[in-house]
Amino acid sequence: MNAQNTDNLFISLNRADELRSRIQDYLDIEPGMETGFRARERNAQNRSRILEYFDASEEDWNNWVWQVKNRISDVNILSQFLDLKTNEYEEIQMVSKKYRWAISPYYLSLIDFTNYRESPIFKQAVPDIREINDHHGKLDPMGELTTSPVARVTRRYPDRLIINVSNQCAMYCRHCQRRRNIGEKDLHSDKKQLEQALAYIRDNHEIRDVLITGGDALMLSNNRLDWLLGELHKIQHVEIKRLGTRTPVTMPQRITPELCQILKKYPPIYVNTQFNHPLEVTDEAKKACDMLIESGCVLGNQAVLLKSINDDAHIMKKLNQELLKIRVRPYYLFHAKQVKGTAHFVTSVETGLNIMEQLRGYTSGLAVPTYIINAPGGLGKTPILPQYFMAIKDEQITMRTWERKILTYHNKTIEEAT
């Protein structure tokens, strides 16, 4: 080996050591981080307890209709699994008088029953007294009521829109942006309203992208979903259909062979879901995602940045890496919206930017979502990024790398140079 090669090898080895040191803090804690795969034994024990309480079978557990029918929305039932203190019991009852709650048996099984107060699953699913003590925010901060040209349609952008098909979910997230729509019972949009939405889309040829959401798009029956997707598929200028659903996370049993056969008929379909913590990435969630992918769907994740749940760069990195393992592409990281009753989930924007700083370059680009603030009043998604571009002067750009190294970059085309 000549001297030049020796020097290059020395530089390469030093650089490799330097790069490893960049993520050593993550490598030190990663083995102890909880994920759905690592918690499978505890989840199985919880499932057994829940099945015993409901006198149900494994066949029942795997039936999404059973999961919906047996959602837990009574604090007396919840207390059979969690050793609630008297004040917690009373506070849940108080909150439920104002805001509805319900948890699928499956999602309940993901809670650490012995340490539930620290569980990110518990915090997302169970009412908190801070919900009714929150006097900030608005019920409709996104201005959906003023961006609805026809019933069940929200339009914020030139070429795409939302059809809101239901207020029903497998589990009512405590940070939900549409908690105003939950009401006291599950209601799907009636067919007449959906036909009006379809007519609006037919009459507006610039609409090329339609998102079906709610509530949860997959809470519709197979027959209704088949009809709606079929009608959209017939509209020539609609190029893609999207489904907004959290069922792969909160009730993966909904992803059935029958549903997948329907989805397979109407490509291209993009499915956006919402995993917020590595504990939600389980064997059951993987199976559901595998089935959706095999039916031709493209999967993306829209996480919400939530205080005390995932407002940590290492947790977010682990979540996104777990998602890539099950072929779900991290798409957006949403800053929590200023929805009345959810202020205790809202972080500072600086927290989100710090997380993004510790993702870019520190993990695969595929594992780096776009950090988004939804502009109030229905003005749309606004990307918020760390500042890598610093200045431009004459033919030089000053920029910094993910390692915060400052450099200049030549800013002149070949044609200009000659």
7 and 57 housed in the same domain: no
What pLDDT is recorded for position 414? 63
Helix (H, G, I), strand (E, B), or coil: what is residue 370?
A: strand
Q: What is the predicted pLDDT for the residue at 272? A: 97
According to DSSP, the β-strands at 153-154 and 160-164 are antiparallel
Summarised one tens digit per residue, pLDDT across range 91-103 is 999 999 999 999 9
Residues 6 or more apart whose CB falls under 8 angstroms from that of 317 comprise: 26, 358, 359, 362, 363, 367
Strands 209-213 and 160-164: parallel
Task: Calculate the CA 43 to chain-centre distance.
Answer: 21
**Separation between Cα atoms, residue 269 and residue 241, nearest integer Å:** 5
Beta carbons of 372 and 360 less than 8 angstroms apart: no
- Residues 11 and 75 both lie in one domain: no
pLDDT (mean) for 234-260: 98
Q: Which of 57-66, 174-183, 388-397 has the lowest mean pLDDT?
A: 174-183
Q: How far is CA 366 from the centre of its chain?
A: 16
Residue corresponding to tokens 């330097």: 18
In a domain, 179, yes or no: yes
> Tell me: the pLDDT tens digits for 388-413?
988 998 889 999 999 999 989 888 77
- Same domain membership, residue 222 and residue 113: no
Closest to 301 (Cα-Cα) out of 212, 208, 370, 216 = 370
Question: Does residue 204 form part of some domain?
Answer: yes
- Are 72 and 208 in the same domain? no
The token duo for 40 is: 């499978």
In a domain, 245, yes or no: yes
Across the chain, mean pLDDT equals: 94
- Looking at the structure of the chain, the number of domains it has is 4
Measure the CA–CA gap between 173 and 176, rounded to whole angstroms: 5
Predicted structure pTM score: 0.94
End-to-end CA distance of the chain: 40
Give pLDDT, residue 183. Answer: 58
Q: Is residue 230 part of a domain?
A: yes
The encoded tokens of residue 110 equal 């993901």
User: Is residue 367 domain-shared with residue 338, that is, in the same domain?
Assistant: yes
Which range of residues forms the domain containing residue 82? 43-119
Give the integer Cα–Cα distance in Å for 8 and 99.
64
Q: What is the pLDDT of residue 400?
A: 93
Please check whether residues 283 and 297 belong to one and the same domain. yes
pLDDT digits (tens, 9 = 90+) for 276-289: 999 999 999 999 99
Q: Is residue 318 part of a domain?
A: yes
Q: Does 136 reside within a domain? A: no
The per-residue pLDDT for range 140-161, each reduced to its tens digit, is 766 677 889 999 999 999 999 9
Verify that 98 and 22 share a domain, yes or no: no
Residues 153, 204 within the same domain: yes
Instruction: Write the pLDDT tens digit of every residue in 179-223.
Output: 777 756 777 889 999 999 999 999 999 999 999 998 899 999 999
Give domain status of residue 297, yes or no. yes
- CATH number of the domain bearing residue 236: 3.20.20.70
Same domain, 211 and 230: yes
**Whats the size of the chain, residue-wise?**
418
Answer whether residue 124 is part of any domain: no
What residue type is assigned to position 127 of the chain?
Answer: P
222-234 vs 191-203: helix crossing angle, rounded to 10: 20
Per-residue pLDDT averaged across 360-380, rounded? 91
Residue 234, pLDDT score: 98
Residues 60 and 190 in one domain: no
Same-domain status, 103 and 171: no
Say whether both 103 and 231 belong to one domain: no
